[in-house]
Structure 1
């Protein structure tokens, strides 16, 4: 809608986990390094805790890309509020090998599914693939039996290695839930935390996303990432969003749309304040 007006080839502030738009702040880079270390060193299990909208899902996708999609067999579960452990197992089996999901109802119970999962994991490892299971939004899990099921799949091991790497992502309340389940808590090899972006990162974050979405500059003309938002607008964005990437994306997207509608030359602080008021952003 507004892309051509601002010299963009696509929308830069979509709230989707596209790794191309990942901005590696110091804390994001540190978390990505730790997650990668869990996989490459065969540590079995890692946990990523972060505030709402700080980029956990995006970081998970970036991890899979960095490892090489052709080198891994991955299962990324975004809504883990299953009614029973067998449903969780079915989702993991389906994610790692959709063709392997049993047809017989009796084989859809936990024990046969565990046997099927073990076979899948062994076959993938023999093919030189890493098995990675990411449970996103894990703070939403209410049934302790689901956490126990996650612990049990960590028992799939060869003599010298885990057959899979399990990652548990969630909001800060996940930390307390896991700590109350000692057998699982003790299996977590590395823990990472993501908070809001710092003051110095806000401008870099916005410019990075604009640069990815920008059309190539013509001649000596600067690209869109350097000219759309002025300094005062960036201060207003920081003040309103608190450095939460998802809130930054929402505000910036609406600002670009409003600026287009008003035929603005650039995004200024007054326009940001107008957007916050008009769209009731709180």
Structure 2
């Protein structure tokens, strides 16, 4: 709707996990480096966690782009499965033929282990990536651990990438999963963007779509971090709506009142009011502490 009006070649704030739009903040670079390092190590598991909308799935897509050509990847996007269903899904992803009537944990496990051995003989690395892994049942996680038991003297024949929300960290602290937790060779928790990173994030996405960050006023850019808390998915939703409202009103620049109106439409008036109040409270606390510090420093001059 607003692309031609603002001179954009594409929607810069789509919430689809497009690696082309991935803004590599220092945190995202660290996350990608940890995953890449972990997959090169001899262990069976690497883990990426973060709050909803921080960019975990987009980082994983970038990781897939960087994997060597001799890598076969199995993707599990819906982990709310039983152990038997998960093994059947892994077979589907790896192109393993199986007979439904013979379905059992041992039957599927033997087929998968045979495929892993064949891939290794052919010089093919095998990676299993599980998104929304916080929904995995403990017995399913244990089944994944058993799949990584097949190994050479130097490495595991299956590498597993677990991607999930912070609840995944708590899940792996359970006593019955301690063996799996010990096999995680790399883990990273992705935090929201800082205020400066939010500005760079918006500028990056606009530049990929052949636009310019000047579409947003400076006061609006500050407000984006204030309202979104630095969560990329929320930034995308609100910026997209703000551009739509600005186009509707024929404004050449997205101004702060328009952005607040967009935020109220998406998040609700109560949420926006609460976040503005919270920011003002911390600002006043900061001013108060600064005043105390200045007073103490000036007072010490007269002692």
Question: What residue number does 1:124 align with?
Answer: 119
- Alpha-carbon contact 2:42-2:154 (below 8 Å) kept: no
Is the partner of 1:227 in helix, strand or coil?
helix
Q: What TM-score do the two structures reach when normalised by structure 1?
A: 0.90
* Alpha-carbon offset, residue 104 of structure 1: 3.7
Question: 1:193 and 2:189 equivalent?
Answer: yes
Question: What residue number does 2:216 align with?
Answer: 229
* Alpha-carbon offset, residue 156 of structure 1: 1.9
Question: 1:246 and 2:240 equivalent?
Answer: no
Question: What residue number does 2:62 align with?
Answer: 62
Q: How does 1:111-150 map to 2 (within 5 A)?
A: 111-141=106-136, 143-150=137-144
Tell me how many residue pairs correspond in the alignment: 267
- Alpha-carbon contact 2:238-2:266 (below 8 Å) kept: no
CA distance in 2, matches of 1:280, 1:32: 30
Structure 1: give runs of 5+ residues left out of the alignment: 215-223
Instruction: Extract structure 1 runs of 4+ deviating beyond 4 A.
Output: none
Question: 1:81 and 2:76 equivalent?
Answer: no
Do the aligned partners of residues 170 and 280 (structure 1) sit closer, same or farther apart at CA in structure 2, a change above 3 Å counting?
A: closer
| Structure with greater contact order relative to length (CA < 8 Å, sep ≥ 6) | 1
* Alpha-carbon offset, residue 101 of structure 1: 3.1
* Alpha-carbon offset, residue 274 of structure 1: 1.3
Q: What TM-score do the two structures reach when normalised by structure 2?
A: 0.84
Q: How does 1:1-282 map to 2 (within 5 A)?
A: 1-68=1-68, 70-82=69-81, 84-97=82-95, 100-106=96-102, 108-141=103-136, 143-180=137-174, 181-214=177-210, 224-281=211-268, 282=271
**For 1:55-91, what per-residue CA distance to the aligned partner results, in whole angstroms no more than 9, with x for missing partners?**
11111110010124x3321122122011x20101111
CA distance in 2, matches of 1:213, 1:257: 16
* Alpha-carbon offset, residue 159 of structure 1: 3.0
Is the partner of 1:192 in helix, strand or coil?
strand
- Alpha-carbon contact 1:64-1:72 (below 8 Å) kept: no
Structure 2: give runs of 5+ residues left out of the alignment: 272-303
Is the partner of 1:189 in helix, strand or coil?
strand
Q: How much is the aligned-residue C-alpha RMSD, in angstroms?
A: 1.4
Greater helix proportion: 2
